[in-house]
Amino acid sequence: MADKQHPMGVAITGIMRSGTTLIADLLTVRGRSLVIGEPNLLGNWNVGQTRRTHAIVQAAGIDVEPPPPPGTYQRNDDYFRTAILPKLGALDWWGVKYVDLHGLDGVFRRYPPKRLVLCVRDIREVAISAIELVERMALAFDDHRHMRDEAWVFSRLAYTIHELMGLRRHPHMVVRYEDLAMQPDAVKDELRTYMEMDALSDERVNLMIEDPSRKQWETEKHSDGITTRSLGRFANEPNGPARRLAERLWRLYPEYSMAFDYEVPTPAERVASHPYRLRVRPGENPIEYLPTENATWPGPDCIEPVFALRRARRLVARNLRPGESVLELAHALPALRYMKPEGTRFVAQGREDRRFEAIARGELPPIGRATVIAAIDLLEYLPDLNLFLKALRKLGKPALMTYHANEDTHGIDRAALGWVNHLTRRQLTNRLNAAGFHVTAKWAVRQGISLIRVRPSTPVDQTARQAAEA
């Protein structure tokens, strides 16, 4: 039932990394208005969540009682309605900011917003920025149940696009991140007029209460707001896993680019069919939100590169041997460290060490104390596989590899997935042998993924192989 006694003045929502926190702070004026970021009102009672909400309200100069002990309330909204909402009546209006859109319809039914602001950004830029956020803030969980890896980024953005496109049915104002960076005064004037405000705020109330490391990073990155330094992320991103993920989302959701006036992929560039494509009727989201947080969730019923990578990583992790120290090559996020079993070590790398373009040229990073190299979901993307294998052989270390062999992917448009070589099991084995490796393979272990362990071959291996081929 809608709360008519305490109506909501505005809801700010949109895709992550699109400036929603800045918009919330611009609209938060002491003594006049307050926008609370990510309060998760209808979520089950969570002390940490309610403490965060309490901190935002306190930072805005409104004194409220802190959250009570666990078990006092059933939902976060119970505390909000009891302790906070009555205090907001002294303001001209209050609002919320959400980039986690799960259950937002329920929030709107209880607190129908008078105004709605949709924050958007080129989906390719969002993907690159989201990957950076996950890595810099170490958001990948290590409890073996959750994993914020490339597959999580893909699923979260895909889910949000479905929800965001559905929200367009409500009267709203659109704020494009790019416009806010390039024409901040014009966007702020439009926002002020839309909200019927005399002036916007220059305080960062919602940013103020963030984790210190994130607050420092965001402050250094954007100073007092969003600037043109934030633009061009995709254009400047070199060929590699992060760029491929960003491009895949862009090709999968041309409707998003059309709706918000971004570059639209040509018909030939678009993903022809996919379980996660936008539905004709708004609100029909094919992605269930809660499973996306589960590290073992299989994702769509098709070969989707980021989920193939997740499965391949788990396959490699299960086959690491006690005492091995592993170096993972060329990925957007170093997620293998959260999957490796007890007794193994992960060789830490910087971003430069994981650059795909250098690895594709045969320029492998320093291996440090690594005793085994992991080439996971990598071989398919190498235009010159022989060059890479030659460089790998020079390291003189064994390696664990994964590959989707041609005969294990019948009916799959390999090129559409970004794969640039299409070898059969025998052809790949021959390439590895020719490069000087002894090969032990488990073919098509899971959904077409093969696990290959190689080690530098010895004269005995070569003699045995020649005898077998005779």
The answer to whether residue 430 sits within a structural domain is yes
The answer to the question of residue 58 being in a domain is: yes
Instruction: Please count the structural domains in the chain.
Output: 2
Is-contact 20 123, C-beta < 8 A? no
Spatial distance between the Cα atoms of 64 and 444, rounded to a whole number of angstroms? 59
Q: What's the residue count for the chain?
A: 470
22 and 91 together in one domain: yes
Distance CA 74, CA 77 (A): 8
- Cα–Cα distance measured from residue 306 to residue 126, given in angstroms and rounded to the nearest whole number: 16
Q: Which domain holds residue 230?
A: 8-259
Q: Which pTM was predicted?
A: 0.93
**Is residue 288 assigned to a domain?**
no
Of the candidates 229, 244, 259, which is a domain's last residue? 259
Q: Is residue 267 part of a domain?
A: no
Report CA Rg, the chain.
Answer: 25
Cα(first)–Cα(last) distance of the chain, in Å? 80
Same domain assignment for residues 319 and 244: no
Specify if 331 maps to a domain: yes
Residues 226 and 351 in one domain: no
Which of 259, 289, 321 lies at the terminal end of a domain, its last residue? Answer: 259
Cβ atoms of 256 and 264 within 8 Å: the answer is: no
| Alpha-carbon distances of 188 from 67, 91, 200, 218, 249, rounded to whole Å | 34, 21, 8, 20, 29
Instruction: Looking at the structure, tell me whether residues 234 and 323 fall in a common domain.
Output: no
- CATH assignment at residue 398: 3.40.50.150
Give the whole-angstrom CA distance, residue 182 versus residue 451. Answer: 48
- Predicted confidence pLDDT, tens digits, the chain (470 residues): 667 677 899 999 999 999 999 999 999 999 999 999 999 999 999 999 999 999 999 999 999 999 998 889 999 999 999 999 999 999 999 999 999 999 999 999 999 999 999 999 999 999 999 999 888 877 666 566 677 899 999 999 999 999 999 999 999 999 999 999 999 999 999 999 999 999 999 999 988 887 665 556 566 655 556 788 889 999 999 999 999 999 999 999 999 999 999 999 999 999 999 999 998 776 689 999 999 988 889 999 999 999 999 999 999 999 999 999 999 999 899 888 888 888 999 998 888 888 999 999 999 999 999 999 999 999 999 999 999 999 999 999 999 999 999 999 999 999 999 999 999 999 999 999 999 999 999 999 989 999 999 999 997 776 666 666 65
d(CA 269, CA 259): 18
> What CA dihedral angle connects 159, 161, 167 and 171, to 10 degrees?
160
Residue 421, CA distances (Å) to 193, 379, 425 in order: 55, 8, 12
245 and 380 part of one domain: no
DSSP letter string over 264-304? Answer: ---TTTS-S--TTSPPSSTT---S-TGGGG-TT---SSS--
Question: Phi, psi (5° rounding) for residue 340?
Answer: -65, 145
Strands 173-176 and 113-120: parallel
One domain for residues 69 and 190? yes
Judge contact between 178 and 122, C-beta under 8 A.
Answer: yes
In a domain, 252, yes or no: yes
